[in-house]
Amino acid sequence: MLNTLNSLSQELQNPDVDPADPQVQSDIQNAVDVVDTASDDLNASIASLGETQNTMSMLSDAQTDISTSNDELIGSLQDLDYGPASITFTGLEVAMEATLKTYSKVSELNLFSVL
């Protein structure tokens, strides 16, 4: 792009060049097209960098959330009173076993066993 603009600048600085000459007009249009293309490429790069930056921000926020959750989990494990937790666990275990036994009994039922 800069080479194209430099060539056009040198061409236009020549006092013998007629700005109305179709070749000069073509060179000017070519330079404008090159600048437009470079501008589009630059805008695409900026958009890509913005997208990458947003992704990095989201990942950073997610990492912060995970770290906070881990800290809370570690705190709750350190503060756990194992006596009541063991009793609660045993109660839930008994309830689960009762549910499984009930399910097995219900699954054995059919219309013919009732008659």
Task: State the Cα–Cα distance between residues 57 and 1, nearest whole angstrom.
Answer: 34
Per DSSP, helices labelled H in the chain are 2-13, 22-78, 82-108, 111-114
11 vs 107, higher pLDDT: 11
54-78: pLDDT as tens digits: 999 999 999 999 999 999 999 888 8
pLDDT of residue 71: 92
Confidence tier at 81 by pLDDT (50, 70, 90): confident
The secondary structure of residue 21, as a DSSP letter, is S
